[in-house]
Structure 1
């Protein structure tokens, strides 16, 4: 039989449905793969061997009874450790929640289980999703399977690395400033940030509530679409959830075609600071879209140049508010509670010990931006910039169907290279942040290897809010054309671990 870990999610589901393989066989194959390679990759923080096999066994039993199952029933998945999972740890990559066992499932977790998807475990991440490299995890960095000395992207590097190392065919990430798309770009995988409110945030530990969005990660566009439909949809438990039908993303992924579409190239995403090989592969992708029948239009969005500073006022401000709940009184770590200290002292000692440097940096910055006398100058001004960015998108989508750009300015950089330079680290999300500020949909797909270093480059596709299906239509067309040109999926070029 073909190596079960090398199948796509759609192929895996078909093999289980036809009886070629059982869900238990598939789960065990992936657990064995995790056992063989994850010591080197460190994609997982917790592997739920018993829970995964029990879930797989339940799928096999239901299938044997003739029950109707979902299209991904029995397919394994790696879940970012920011979603609560009843009975197994949720740490958010932080010491402050080390060992915490939630008493409930996040809505995304519940929908995965209801779909019969087998959760293998929880993946490594930058602490509280604050980072662009997965170096800020309290439990150590994750390596990029293309080169274990390099970063797998952040903050969801564990999920992207699990896909690229064939430890799981599907994964879930979250995207606050690019944390699904940026890891996808540097690992040669597919990552989608749905429209804000398209996937429930209930049970997703909050970083920046007006920006955070969960979404699918996969190795193919169709797999991402299948997972998108499994987790999306209205949730009354989330006040920001959109009460509207989920766009037909699977249909779009099965019928990728850009013939007659108008596709905008964002003028502001390019030039100084962009790696030459990244721009070369991006420009080739634009020409490919033209060959496939799209009309290419240059679009200027001048406010995008202000996105990075606006983001780094809004996100830390919301983080300083959200993280105030970690006070040692309710759950998680508690330090100094020996009976001699006040509650305030215990809280201070716990937060000092439990939060890492990047989290502290953002809390301090956000608290300052929200303080009396500075609110209007900083946070208020950033929100005005956010409005300008939304208007630039609105104007652009009045002219074109989707926008395209590089996903990241560079390929994966070496672990430790930017550890002492937060500003250089923040620049990794230069192209992705505007979509978070505006709340629209965006995707990253592989578009080749940079000639300088042989590492993956991502093509970003951006669509209007609630037009997520356009991402899949364009992404599937490009993916099919490039796979035909290369003769195989890009990941087949990754070195064996």
Structure 2
């Protein structure tokens, strides 16, 4: 069931306790295979649901609806690990703003979802607590780093979830599991209480079964937050209404730019034919609804991968310095025989996984004396060029579109020994992250029985435009198929209760 259907059920007399119990039962039945969750507390979830029922607010807004949170979102009194051994067992003393706003809206926390350690990965194979599997094919990855959230929603273990996106970590797993995933405009959703990977890139956002569901969840978490110095103090666009308007299917006058550098002519190396076919079909559907489609060139997008893997690791090397084995989390070797430097070194050696170490080393090198200008400084210049390409493109079009990922979900283990191939999974999502503009992934077809994602990018603070176009495409493709969507197939194949 979609969230609007769950809301109707709650308003019609279904209790939040019954709804929460249904999802807890589904978690108990299926998560042994999927490993979408790192922490679930059934007693706390049911107690929260009973509180909502007693308050008489279920069925109003988000009240009474269960939600899952990626384990990078700090939650008071609930284990929060960021997928890392170095934070094993840590229970924060406060809520992230995202968690606090969902709590204030009356949602019920089902649990914390698995993720690549400190959000560093594209497959959720880098978690210190095991690999999450794709509900469409248990031998394939669910994307990353928000793979636990994508698997939970796609597998019917949650109606929707919060992920975070640094270089594509909401959109890419959404695409690989047949979901809608939106990366908001940077600064429009508070980062307060998100365990930082790359402070100039990290952004929390929704992952859901439908565009409208994603918009509803986004509205609940968005808006200015004085606790976040990067938070934008501006009115938030009306997102759910934009999704409802878009579902009407009228895109007359909308100018759509197809990005040549992201799977267009001369730039198809590494892109699967089935992905390009699905995306091409989606573009045709937009044109049939009245959109004016044209090709747009953004030359600096070709440099996004290299720039990102200098900027993000550089910021990570600074952010992760706080994990020293002294203030919180894991502490190794503190038996009185070692000095503080030895304790910190041992803690980091055993607490950080290989991918995190790789990125810390890369980032520290890029920031080091004599190399800063050649590497980090140059990457920031490329970032400026990418932003300028977006600005120039949006002078002529309203949205830009591309594949979300070059391929469908790949087999578990296929790229673990090839970091460059793994990083290429984010090829299409990186430009929007570096520029800070909003971008959404919506399912647009199947290739070899696996979902294909279609990415829609808009100017900063025009998130509503993403939702409008995505909803129009979703409605058109659903009408073409004569069903409610790709997840209906999944429900049949995997026995999902949702």
TM-score interval for Structure 1 and Structure 2 normalised by the shorter chain: over 0.9
The CA distance in 2 between the partners of 1:125 and 1:153, in whole Å, is 9
Q: From 355, 360, 364, give the equivalent of 2:357.
A: 360
Q: Which residue of 1 aligns with 2:281?
A: 284
Q: CA deviation at 1:353?
A: 0.1
Partner secondary structure for residue 494 of structure 2: coil
Q: Sort the Cα spacing of 1:70 and 1:241 in 2 relative to 1 into closer, same or farther, 3 A.
A: farther
Q: Which residue of 1 aligns with 2:4?
A: 10
Partner secondary structure for residue 12 of structure 1: helix
Q: CA deviation at 1:32?
A: 0.3
| 2:20 corresponds to 1:24 | no
Q: CA deviation at 1:280?
A: 0.4
The CA distance in 1 between the partners of 2:60 and 2:316, in whole Å, is 36
The CA distance in 1 between the partners of 2:59 and 2:154, in whole Å, is 27
Q: Which residue of 1 aligns with 2:420?
A: 423
Partner secondary structure for residue 457 of structure 1: strand
Q: Which residue of 1 aligns with 2:486?
A: 490
Q: Which residue of 2 aligns with 1:44?
A: 37
Residues 70 and 115, structure 1, Cα contact 8 Å, conserved in 2: no
Q: CA deviation at 1:69?
A: 7.3
The CA distance in 2 between the partners of 1:405 and 1:201, in whole Å, is 27
Q: Which residue of 1 aligns with 2:336?
A: 339
- 1:239-272 deviation per Cα after TM superposition (whole angstroms, max 9, x unaligned): 0001111111111011104221000000001111
The CA distance in 2 between the partners of 1:68 and 1:149, in whole Å, is 38
Residues 114 and 127, structure 2, Cα contact 8 Å, conserved in 1: yes
Q: From 313, 322, 325, give the equivalent of 2:322.
A: 325
For residues 365-444 of structure 1, the aligned pairs below 5 Å read 365-444=362-441
Residues 316 and 366, structure 1, Cα contact 8 Å, conserved in 2: yes
Aligned residue pairs, count: 485
Moved over 3 A (4+): 67-70
Q: Which residue of 2 aligns with 1:481?
A: 476
Residues 70 and 116, structure 1, Cα contact 8 Å, conserved in 2: no
Q: From 135, 140, 143, give the equivalent of 2:125.
A: 135
Q: Which residue of 1 aligns with 2:80?
A: 90
- 1:95-144 deviation per Cα after TM superposition (whole angstroms, max 9, x unaligned): 00000010110000000000011110000000000000000000011000
Q: CA deviation at 1:68?
A: 8.9
| 2:222 corresponds to 1:265 | no
- 1:412-431 deviation per Cα after TM superposition (whole angstroms, max 9, x unaligned): 00000000000000000000
The CA distance in 1 between the partners of 2:58 and 2:355, in whole Å, is 47
Q: CA deviation at 1:487?
A: 1.6
Residues 68 and 110, structure 2, Cα contact 8 Å, conserved in 1: yes
Q: Which residue of 1 aligns with 2:301?
A: 304
The CA distance in 1 between the partners of 2:58 and 2:260, in whole Å, is 49
The CA distance in 2 between the partners of 1:397 and 1:55, in whole Å, is 45
Q: Which residue of 2 aligns with 1:165?
A: 155
| 2:146 corresponds to 1:156 | yes
Partner secondary structure for residue 255 of structure 1: helix
Structure 1 gaps of 5+ residues are 1-6
| 2:57 corresponds to 1:61 | no
The CA distance in 1 between the partners of 2:303 and 2:269, in whole Å, is 16
Partner secondary structure for residue 461 of structure 1: strand
Q: CA deviation at 1:402?
A: 0.3
Partner secondary structure for residue 109 of structure 2: strand
**CA RMSD for the aligned pairs?**
0.9
- 1:401-459 deviation per Cα after TM superposition (whole angstroms, max 9, x unaligned): 00000000000000000000000000000000001100000000000101xx2100000
Which deviates more from structure 2 when the two are superposed, residues 243-252 or residues 318-327?
Answer: 243-252
Residues 10 and 72, structure 1, Cα contact 8 Å, conserved in 2: no
The CA distance in 2 between the partners of 1:197 and 1:364, in whole Å, is 28
Which deviates more from structure 2 when the two are superposed, residues 479-488 or residues 425-434?
Answer: 479-488
The CA distance in 2 between the partners of 1:217 and 1:27, in whole Å, is 19
Given the two structures, how large is their TM-score scaled by the length of structure 2? 0.96
For residues 239-258 of structure 1, the aligned pairs below 5 Å read 239-256=229-246, 257-258=250-251
Partner secondary structure for residue 349 of structure 1: helix
Residues 444 and 459, structure 1, Cα contact 8 Å, conserved in 2: yes
The CA distance in 2 between the partners of 1:14 and 1:119, in whole Å, is 20
The CA distance in 2 between the partners of 1:423 and 1:207, in whole Å, is 19
Structure 2 gaps of 5+ residues are none
